[in-house]
Structure 1
Amino acid sequence: MAISKEESVLFDDWKGNREGFVFDGVASELDYLNSNIKLCFVLKEVNDLGGGGWDLREFIKAGARSQTWDNISRWVTCIRHIKSNIKWSEIEKIDENYRKETLRSICAFNLKKSPGSHTTERATFNAVVAEDKDYIIKQYDIYKPDITICCGTGWDLRWALDLNDGEVFETNRGIKWFMNKQNKPVFMYAHPSARVQDSLIVYGLIDAIREVCA
């Protein structure tokens, strides 16, 4: 079954449980399947005080926005050229067209499908993830990513996927990661808009992926 069809079947069942359900997943199925490395980014929830009810996939295809998605675009570029030493000057300037072109090949989804504010309410988030655990497992299994990047969600995804008994590894520079059920690496990293210099956020992850995967 095609990814888009599997997503549709899953979301038709899931959306009734979450007011303001925000759809997400693979932006462009063809680009995702044809990419040299299938990348999945796992976030917590969308920041939307307007109540949700929209589609993150369409938002990404339209170019998303600079906050959060500039650094994800930089990550994608560097990961797809992991054996090259891409200079900061080559990826410092990111515009909407660059994001459109770069992000269409990725998968990105939120663990919590109902929207929140810019600061996650931990108790509410934990409760929703616990209630939706079976759905989260089913969604993640659709994509079969080669590399998963947890954007501040590493421990949450590990628990949601029933992988708490598995080993957590650490790179030489302290980035934690684990293997999913397909023996593919899942990196436990910071949110792309964390209050850290962009170049440090970008190359910290790339350094870890290069150590583990290259």
Structure 2
Amino acid sequence: MKPTLEAVAVSTTFADAGGGRIAALDKVDARFLPGQLSVIVGPSGSGKSTLLHALAGIVVPEEGRIVSDAVDLSTLDEARRDAWRLTHCGMVFQDFRLIDELDALANTLLPAQFKHVRVPTALRQRAQSLLTEFGLPARSGPVARLSRGEQQRVALARAMLLDPPVLLADEATASLDAENGQRIADALLAVARTGKTVIAVTHDDKLSALADQRIMLKAGRVVTAEQTQA
């Protein structure tokens, strides 16, 4: 099966406090297939979020390629990577990146406002449906008043709004209690089963147990990449 998204010998570094360079990713190879839930695991500082951001076209590798449907994202300028991400990729950031002053529905609808002058009724209905699915009222006042777990679910609804072929989630269950964490883990698996490519960075053993593929990073390198029996 042809991968939706692929990292090919990806390396990148970041500056340390002394002005030197530290390897964040070191010749990482990874393939992500449609219809699968993949998890990226490993200790803190192993490069998990950096890899996810590279797959989203946010981080540009210093070496190697990020390939989506034969397009090398690494060769695109920032504007074209942003355009690719809007149409191909929904993303849940670890810090959510919600607009505090807006309510849950308005935050969920933000991706639609980049594509439409007036948000279509169908997208409004989809946003409301996603929020209901995740146990959130659409009109709840500013999201700044919500708990971190509720904000996390708003961020996931926003990422899913435009029904992108790729969904990237950075610790999507980290701020949730056991019940809601399981609800989101099941939702991610269900999205994958519709034919989407779902990639999640996680420390959550329950989410990891549902995965079709587990990639373990250590010090910026892939130490294991295994298909599971999930």
Normalised TM-score (structure 1): 0.31
Q: Which has the higher helix share?
A: 1
Question: With structure 2 as the length reference, what TM-score do the two structures score?
Answer: 0.29
